[in-house]
């Protein structure tokens, strides 16, 4: 009981004391952090970086929540979006694998990138795995971003949920 009361107090205090320096710096920094996350994800030639890019992208959401409060953060990234995004990456990965079977007319195995007829489109045969790696990286990054922001929201959430709990208890 004491905990919930304290959380409500803290939430109100948070709403009133919004520092202008913190919000301005967050507004300035968040686009650059997200560009850097995109660079880490797909900016370099080669595999790897999906997980790290996703974590950096999640860090931008953590900065948003730190600067603007958790209710506004939840409005920007609702929980239903979180659930959808955290499974979207898996669908990207599995879909690329299935695409290998379908586009090679059932002659190649699952996730056999070499069988995709993409090199006719791109032109250079040595880069045919690269575009597929980009899709896989983006899928991994979306999943990691959704899961890390979800964990952070669940650990830090104490706003409206607590008010609803208090209402229910008061009604009883």
Partner 1 sequence: MIIPLDLIALFFLVVIALAAITVRDLLAAIVLLSAYSFIIATVWVEMHAVDVGFTEAAVGAGATTAFLIATLARTRRWEKR
Partner 2 sequence: MLEWLIAEVFAKYNYWVSIVLMLIGFYAMIAKDNLMKKIIGLNIFQTAIILFFISLGDVSIGGWGGGVTEPIVKGALPWETGEGGAVYANPLPHVLMLTAIVVGAATTAVALALVIRLHEEYGTIEESEIIEKERERELP
Q: Is 136 in the site for partner 1 (CB under 8 A)?
A: no
The residue among 117 and 169 lying less far from partner 2, judged by its C-beta, is: 169
The rounded distance, in Å, linking the Cα atoms of 77 and 58 is: 11
Q: Determine if 142 is a binding residue for partner 1 (CB under 8 A).
A: no
Q: Verify binding: residue 62, partner 1, rule CB under 8 A.
A: yes
Q: How far apart are CA 5 and CA 118, in angstroms?
A: 60
**In Å, what is the CA distance from 4 to each residue of 74, 160, 165, 167?**
20, 11, 9, 12
Q: For the CB of residue 3, give the shortest distance to partner 1 in the complex, in Å.
A: 8
Considering only 9, 110, 151, 160, the residue that binds partner 2 (CB under 8 A) is: 151
Does residue 51 bind partner 2 (CB under 8 A)? yes
Rounded Cα–Cα distance for residues 125 and 118 (Å) = 9
Stretch that binds partner 1, among 88-96, 122-130, 135-143, 154-162 (CB under 8 A): 154-162
Site size toward partner 2, by CB under 8 A? 6
Q: Comparing C-alpha atoms, which of 69, 74, 73 is closest to residue 14? A: 69
Q: Which residues bind partner 1 (CB under 8 A)?
A: 3, 7, 10, 48, 51-52, 55-56, 58-59, 62, 148, 151-152, 155-156, 158
């Amino acid at each position: 009981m004491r905990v919930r009361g304290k959380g409500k107090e803290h939430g109100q205090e948070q709403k009133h004391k919004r520092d202008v320096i913190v919000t301005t710096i967050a507004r300035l920094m968040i686009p650059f952090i997200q560009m850097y996350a995109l660079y880490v994800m797909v900016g370099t030639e080669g595999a790897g970086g999906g997980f790290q890019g996703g974590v950096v992208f999640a860090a931008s959401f953590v900065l948003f929540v730190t600067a603007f409060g958790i209710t506004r953060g939840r409005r920007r990234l609702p929980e239903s979006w979180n659930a959808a995004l955290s499974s979207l990456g898996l669908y990207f990965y599995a879909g690329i694998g299935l695409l290998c079977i379908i586009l090679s007319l059932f002659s190649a195995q699952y996730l056999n990138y070499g069988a995709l007829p993409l090199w006719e489109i791109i032109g250079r045969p040595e880069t045919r795995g690269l575009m597929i790696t980009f899709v896989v990286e983006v899928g991994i990054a979306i999943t990691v971003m959704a899961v890390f922001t979800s964990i952070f929201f669940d650990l830090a959430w104490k706003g409206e949920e607590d008010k609803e709990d208090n209402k229910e208890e008061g009604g009883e």
